[in-house]
Amino acid sequence: MSSSMKKAFALIIGLFILLFIGTYFLFKVAFSVYTPPVQKDYFERGLYYKDTLKKIAEAEEAGWTLSIPGSERGVLPQKGTLTVVLTSPKEELKTADVKVKIELPATQQGSQLLSMAPVDGKPGEFSVAYEVSMATKYEVYVSAAFNENKMLRKKIAVHFQ
């Protein structure tokens, strides 16, 4: 076999070895930064989508509103207390489970799910202390399940400073 043929075989074998080493590192990096689904029960939530829409429609028909005082300008401090107000001119609030999710769009980093507590002496008002790590634009999702069969949701874009 000539020396040029030996060099060609050595080059081909060397390139195959580099290909396998590169593929190994590609998979190693890909699996090391894997993030699981954001919500483990995402498929179950989809099954109850129509029920959720029905509960929201019932709440809106009954005159229920969900407001977030202080968020009208779309700017909030990085650390503070978030307040949510549930009101209705027709019904009294009996029970409520209010949650807020503060989420940095397109990433799981900085995402927080917080349960809100009722404010003493102020029916229909709920608050929670929060702190976000970066001063940037976040999406805030508020969901309130109340009076056994009603639900309201609200999404706002907020720039935390």
Which residues in the chain come in under a pLDDT of 50? Answer: none
pLDDT of residue 43: 64
CA distances from 46 to 111, 114, 116, 134, 146 (A): 21, 22, 24, 31, 20
Domain shared by 23 and 67, yes or no: no
Contact residues for 156 (Cβ-Cβ < 8 A; gap 6+):
68, 71, 74, 139, 140, 142
Domain shared by 127 and 66, yes or no: yes
Domain shared by 21 and 76, yes or no: no
pLDDT of residue 36: 66
Identify the domain containing residue 4 by its residue range. 1-34
Domain shared by 7 and 81, yes or no: no
Tell me the whole-structure pTM to 2 decimals: 0.67
pLDDT of residue 16: 95
pLDDT of residue 21: 96
Domain shared by 58 and 110, yes or no: yes
Domain shared by 5 and 69, yes or no: no
Q: Give the residue carrying structure tokens 């081909």.
A: 12
Domain shared by 55 and 23, yes or no: no
pLDDT of residue 44: 64
Render pLDDT for 27-62 as a digit per residue (tens, 0 to 9).
999 888 877 666 666 666 667 778 888 888 888 888
Number of structural domains, the chain? 2
What end-to-end distance do the CA atoms of the chain give, in Å?
72
